[in-house]
Amino acid sequence: MNKTVMHELLEINRIESTFPLCSSENLADDHEQSVKVVGILGCGAIANIITNFAAEGKLGVDVNFFYDKDIERAENLASQVDGTVLLSIEDMLDKVDLVIEAASPQAVREVVPTIIGAGVDMIVMSVGALLDNELRERLDKLAKENNAKIYAPSGAIVGIDGIKAASIGKIQSASLVTRKPPRSLGISTDEEKILYEGKAGDAVLKFPMNINVAATLSLACGMEVDVKIIADPAVDRNMHEVHVIGEFGEFKTITENMPCATNPKTSTLAAYAAIRLLKSLNENLKIGT
Ligand SMILES: NC(=O)c1ccc[n+]([C@@H]2O[C@H](COP(=O)([O-])OP(=O)(O)OC[C@H]3O[C@@H](n4cnc5c(N)ncnc54)[C@H](O)[C@@H]3O)[C@@H](O)[C@H]2O)c1
């Protein structure tokens, strides 16, 4: 099915969810394009876990194309799945259904517009970059014009499904306390140290590689969450406490994440979230908001 037809079906589906009696169930059933071939932008810790799953045949899609500004990293991952290393992201665009960005906020600014502009879907891991309103609106516009999708997985945090549902009503407050071993925050200290207290937008500017969860929460609920970042030598996991109060009631979540072996700043759950999202793109029964 071509993308224009799919876009029209999506529109029909959207309109009919407002007027549910006139159902286009059969048409809407296959409105989502299946994802078969995936490329990777950024071949570090997250990409490594995703590629391992692919190598074991557990991903359900082929991860065949790899790009990293450090070519050795791309070669290393490509060798695990007999994949191909590309020297530029442009070379990937006519070969893949979707690109997973697992690189950096800078890559989201510099490279993602090219990918979306070519009508290729994306999973973006460096979600912090999307708190930049100008960039997010530009990417959203490009995605609409080129019928591409941008997916931001729940990543290293739990509660994104709940906060999305909660945001249908009024949210009074949403806060995040992130507690990490000092080495995960790139510092050394023998005692607990509050490194940041304030709104998510500023936290993302000060800790761009560490605070994607604050960005994901903020984007999910449509308001900047209150963030506290603590370096704590007493913990050996990356911990996130979320507290949301709204019209729906109240919820609290605690996530204790195992750091990735190859990058302690990154949590294994973040890679698992991308893998799960990838799988869900080809599923007919989707669970969760
Ligand atoms: N959404 C979440 O919850 C979540 C959780 C953890 C990490 N992240 C983010 O995901 C991204 C990847 O994390 P990681 O732990 O795999 O990082 P990593 O440092 O282990 O690997 C990143 C790789 O990307 C490459 N790279 C960086 N910028 C590039 C560019 N402009 N072009 C090409 N290659 C580039 C690097 O050379 C490196 O190989 C980071 O931005 C990180 O902050 C998000």
Q: Is 240 a catalytic residue?
A: yes
Range of the domain at 106: 32-151+271-280
| Domain co-membership, 127 together with 64 | yes
Nearest atom in ligand 1 to the alpha carbon of residue 110 is: 31
What strands lie across the sheet with 171-180, from one edge to the other? 193-199, 226-231, 171-180, 238-246, 249-257
Is 239 touching ligand 1 by the criterion CB < 6 Å?
A: no
- pLDDT band, residue 259 (cuts 50/70/90): confident
| Domain co-membership, 222 together with 164 | yes
Is 104 touching ligand 1 by the criterion CB < 6 Å?
A: yes
| Domain co-membership, 146 together with 172 | no
- Detail the DSSP E strand segments found in 78-161: 84-85, 98-101, 121-124, 150-151
Total number of domains constituting the chain: 2
Which mutation among 41, 43, 46, 122 tests ligand 1's pocket best, with the greatest number of atoms within 8 A of CB?
Answer: 46
Condensed to tens digits (0 to 9), the pLDDT of residues 17-57 reads 333 333 333 333 444 568 899 999 999 999 999 999 999 99
Instruction: Output the average pLDDT for the chain.
Output: 89
| Domain co-membership, 125 together with 147 | yes
Q: Give the rounded percent of residues in the chain with a pLDDT score beyond 90.
A: 79
**166-170, 243-247, 261-265, 270-274: range with lowest mean pLDDT:** 261-265
Q: What pLDDT score was predicted for residue 268?
A: 95
| Domain co-membership, 60 together with 145 | yes
Is 48 touching ligand 1 by the criterion CB < 6 Å?
A: no
Please list, in sequence order, all residues whose beta carbon lies within 8 angstroms of the beta carbon of residue 47, skipping any fewer than 6 positions away.
Answer: 40, 66, 77, 100, 102
pLDDT at 78 > cutoff 80: yes
pLDDT at 221 > cutoff 50: yes
Distance 27 CA to ligand 1 centre (A): 38
CATH number at residue 147: 3.40.50.720
**4-8, 135-139, 228-232, 260-264: range with lowest mean pLDDT:** 4-8
CATH number at residue 174: 3.30.360.10
What mean pLDDT comes out for the span 212-235? 95
Distance CA 42, CA 47 (A): 7
Q: What pLDDT score was predicted for residue 23?
A: 35
Condensed to tens digits (0 to 9), the pLDDT of residues 85-130 reads 999 999 999 999 999 999 999 999 999 999 999 999 999 999 999 9
More confident residue, 21 or 82: 82
More confident residue, 74 or 2: 74
User: Is-contact 251 215, C-beta < 8 A?
Assistant: no
| Domain co-membership, 48 together with 106 | yes
Q: By CB neighbour count within 10 A (0-12 exposed, 13-18 middle, 19+ buried), where does 55 fall?
A: middle
Catalytic residue among 7, 31, 240, 243: 240
